[in-house]
Amino acid sequence: MSMAAEDLREQARALRERRISSEELVGEHLRRIARHEALGAFVHVAADAALQAARAADAARAGGDSRALLGLPIAHKDVFVTHDMPSTAGSRMLAGYRSPFDATVVARLREAGAVCVGKTNMDEFAMGSSNENSAWGPVRNPWDRRAIPGGSSGGSAAAVAARLVPAATGSDTGGSIRQPAAMCGITGIKPTYGLCSRHGMIAYASSLDQAGVMARSAWDCALLLGEMAGFDARDSTSAQQPDTDYTRLLEQPREGADAQRPLAGLRIGLPREWFGHGLADEVAQPVREALRQLEQLGAQLLDIDLPRSRLSVAAYYIIAPAEASSNLSRFDGVRYGHRAEQYRDLAEMYASSRAEGFGAEVKRRILVGTYVLSHGYYDAYYLQAQKIRRLIAEDFLAAFRGCDLIAGPVSPTVAWDLGEKADPVSVYLADMHTLPASLAGLPAMSVPAGFGLGEHARRPVGLQLVAPHFGEARLLHAAHQLQRASDWHLRAPHD
Ligand code: GLN
């Protein structure tokens, strides 16, 4: 069997036991990337550099180097800057841009020995839920090529699902790791805000942006997260947390639990608001089935309320565009990024460069964001949204007094058809299940839980798990135990 069919954990084992070299492993993935170019998952492939890094990893291993990720192929979402490859964030504005430095997350994974094979496609500046907003074209869902892969980390999700890489980085501002992971049938974790550095992650909405991992299993996510996470003085909102080997905690028995019921005593809250209006039956059924499995593993399910969670879409789509309009003001055609060729004066240079460089969705959000921040509307919109954000976070804090995890769907529907949703508001509404945890800064995961029905039988469904702040270990533990007892995460699209 080809090694690309295996997960990161098994690939690492094969390298350790010298059953394969990194050069062979990376080479096999590069061949798959070339064969599946039509998916649109990658915007840049660094074949030569990757093979060179793989040979260096093999030499290091021969010399006794045993770093956890040594020689393993991964990919980075194009939102992370890399000194040795272009970084565009899916935007014409940054076509061909090369950063003088690596994002902290990129540097940490490099230091851990991972071999980056390339950069993955994404919605422009991470604005979107379908990957259709990329200046470099859409990504196709490897399970069903008529479908979107989800977004904004659609390229990373498709690449992992299609076995082009065993794992990839993503970023999640309002669901961009969880939702594409769900729609592509892989596992994804958005850590607590502040756990992974934002330094070198091209900014969208800074109070929400968080780096995370997309891989086949919770175990693989745990391995990468342990290497990525950690304090970084170059990110002013970086959290001081002890270094954690999450993989070690996955098997740790809970107090009073046994092998049959590893989740005994774990209380999982199910927000009534997440199972009501708008949730497709073909999503609700697999999610409920996964919850039953968690129950069989010993968890206790209880209904809870997150009453203000229904205001998440409204609050998020004021706060995120407000921050985006401010963050994206740096793209003025002067220091870097696209500059128009023709202009009469400075004002026109700014205007034309931005008009040419940004796509329609980015412009829409800059307009909305500038509007809600303007004098006279600031109090009415932006400040109100901030207050609602606080209330949403308080709902979670109250709920976590009575439960250890919160569970629900990731997305109200399975992946929709490419081109199906023309109205931006209908796309925004589809974020209803991921935005609450984002606004509250909480860690959250997407775990494969089955498939849709009928003509959607090849469109994956994800279960969402949310933990209290810095509860990544608990989150990954529950997901890992579920995956030990089920096999949805082992399914792969044909070929
Ligand atoms: N779909 C949401 C948006 O468009 C979230 C995207 C993200 O998490 N980056 O803003």
Domains, the chain, with CATH or none:
3-249 (3.90.1300.10)
- Torsion angle of C-alpha atoms 125, 128, 131, 133, degrees rounded to 10: -70
- Can you tell me which residue has the tokens 């060179």? 52
Sign of the CA dihedral with 242 first, then 246, 248, and 254 last: positive
Question: Residue 1: its pLDDT value, please?
Answer: 57
Cα–Cα distance measured from residue 65 to residue 159, given in angstroms and rounded to the nearest whole number: 28
CA 306 to centroid of ligand 1, rounded, Å: 21
- For position 253, what pLDDT does the model report? 78
String of DSSP letters for 316-334: HHHHHHHHHHHHGGG-SSS
Question: How much distance in Å is there from the Cα of 173 to the middle of ligand 1?
Answer: 6
pLDDT along the chain (495 residues), means of 10: 92 98 98 98 98 98 97 98 98 97 98 98 98 98 98 98 98 98 98 98 98 98 98 97 94 85 96 95 98 98 97 98 98 94 97 98 98 94 98 98 98 98 96 98 98 98 98 98 97 91
CA of 397 to the centre of ligand 1 (A): 23
**d(CA 129, ligand 1 centre) in Å:** 6
Tokens linked to 489: 């995460």
Nearest to 374 by CA among 312, 330, 325: 325
Nearest-atom number in ligand 1 for the CA of 361 is 4
Q: Which has the closest alpha carbon to 197: 159, 171, 178?
A: 171
Whether 77 is catalytic is: yes
The rounded distance, in Å, linking the Cα atoms of 273 and 373 is 30
Which one of 91, 134, 156, 176 is the catalytic residue?
A: 176
Where does ligand 1 bind, in terms of residues with CB under 6 Å? 126-129, 152, 172-176, 204, 320, 431
Å from CA of 280 to ligand 1 middle: 21
Tokens of 324: 């985006």
Q: Residues 77, 197, 438, 446: which is the catalytic one?
A: 77
- pTM of this prediction exceeds 0.85: yes
Q: What is the pLDDT of residues 177-203, one digit of tens each?
A: 999 999 999 999 999 999 999 999 999
> Which residues share a beta bridge with 116?
74
446 Cβ contact partners less than 8 Å away, ≥ 6 residues apart: 177, 178, 179, 181, 182, 187, 188, 189, 410, 462, 463, 464
Strand order in the sheet with 115-120: 42-45, 115-120, 73-77, 167-172, 210-215, 187-190, 444-451, 460-466, 405-409, 267-271, 300-304
Residue 195 Cα to ligand 1 middle (Å):
19
Q: Among this protein's residues, is 87 annotated catalytic? A: no
Tokens of 140: 């196709």
Identity (one letter) of the amino acid at 83?
H
Which of the listed residues 204, 361, 429, 433 should we mutate to test ligand 1's pocket, taking the one with most ligand atoms within 8 A of CB?
A: 204
Question: Which residue's structure tokens are 């008009």?
Answer: 355
Among 79, 120, 122, 123, name the best residue to mutate to test ligand 1's pocket (greatest count of ligand atoms within 8 A of Cβ). 123
Ligand 1, residue 173: give the atom nearest the CA: 8
β-strands 405-409, 267-271 pairing? parallel
Helix axes 22-35, 47-62, angle to 10 degrees: 160
**In the numeric block, which tokens belong to residue 491?**
């399914």
Question: In a mutational test of the pocket of ligand 1, which residue from 77, 127, 206 has the highest number of ligand atoms less than 8 Å from its CB?
Answer: 127
How many whole angstroms separate alpha carbon 459 and alpha carbon 453? Answer: 8
- Residue in 292, 294, 298 with CA at minimum distance from that of residue 265: 298
**112 with 227: CB under 8 angstroms?**
yes
Three-state secondary-structure class, residue 460? strand
Inter-CA distances, 362 with 29, 355, 365, 389, Å:
33, 10, 5, 23
Residues 170/213, Cβ–Cβ less than 8 Å: yes
